[in-house]
């Protein structure tokens, strides 16, 4: 992989925390250095215009990489990077996150929010503080689940009918949850056994 010196490229690299992950390499795919990656973006069509990407390795080191080509296969994206030309070179990329600078994210329609902006937000049910979003899980139903750490870990559907306000700039999510939802997973008390 090429790793150009940012000082000579004419552009300053974005700061460490100014990146968003758009895919994660799962395995080699092919014999010429291609890799299969799980998509973490709702805008996979942007790979057609993105040639300058960043790879974050397992040790947390980020480097600039150049995308030569891509295609979609079985729900994943196959990526071919300049300078990665063999299966053994592709194997070294397994687990790496493919990122773009935060400033390169696609514009969202009114009322939409990036999942990455939800992590770290404090969730409120009315005036009650529930906890902080640690992760967002997909595939458990129609709405993604917010993994919220408060007095315990809560799984809260990020469903339109529960959302009052999402204020990512203030790291705040205001919700109106159904009565008893937060108590569903509560431990059984001795007198209830």
Q: Tell which of 71, 104, 137 closes a domain.
A: 104
Quick: pLDDT tens for 105-142: 777 777 778 777 898 999 999 999 999 999 888 776 77
- Nearest Cα neighbor of 40 from 67, 19, 14, 62 is 19
| CATH number, domain containing residue 149 | 2.30.30.240
Q: Tell which of 57, 84, 104 closes a domain.
A: 104
- Nearest Cα neighbor of 29 from 87, 100, 83, 110 is 87
CB contact burial 160-176 (16+ within 10 A = b; e otherwise): eebbeebeeeeeebbbe
- Nearest Cα neighbor of 155 from 176, 182, 178, 128 is 182
What is the reported pTM? 0.61
Residues 88 and 123 in one domain: no
Q: Tell which of 81, 104, 127 closes a domain.
A: 104
- Nearest Cα neighbor of 149 from 136, 166, 165 is 136
Quick: pLDDT tens for 47-92: 999 899 999 999 999 999 999 999 999 889 999 999 999 999 999 9
């Amino acid at each position: 992989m090429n790793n150009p010196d940012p000082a000579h490229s004419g552009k300053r690299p974005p700061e460490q925390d100014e990146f968003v992950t758009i895919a994660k390499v799962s395995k080699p795919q092919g014999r010429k250095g291609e890799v299969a990656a799980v998509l973490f973006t709702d805008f996979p069509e942007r790979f057609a215009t993105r040639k300058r990407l960043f790879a974050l390795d397992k040790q947390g080191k980020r480097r600039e990489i150049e995308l030569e080509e891509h295609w979609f296969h079985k729900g994943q994206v196959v990526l071919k990077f300049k300078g990665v030309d063999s299966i053994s070179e592709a194997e070294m990329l397994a687990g790496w996150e493919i990122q773009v600078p935060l400033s390169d994210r696609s514009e969202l329609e009114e009322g939409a929010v990036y999942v990455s902006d939800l992590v770290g937000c404090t969730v409120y049910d009315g005036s009650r503080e529930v906890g902080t979003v640690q992760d967002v899980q997909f595939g458990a139903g129609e709405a993604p689940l917010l993994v919220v750490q408060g007095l315990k870990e809560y799984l809260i559907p990020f469903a339109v009918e529960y959302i009052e306000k999402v204020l990512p700039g203030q790291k705040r999510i205001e919700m109106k949850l159904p009565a008893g939802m937060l108590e569903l997973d509560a431990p059984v008390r001795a007198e209830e056994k």
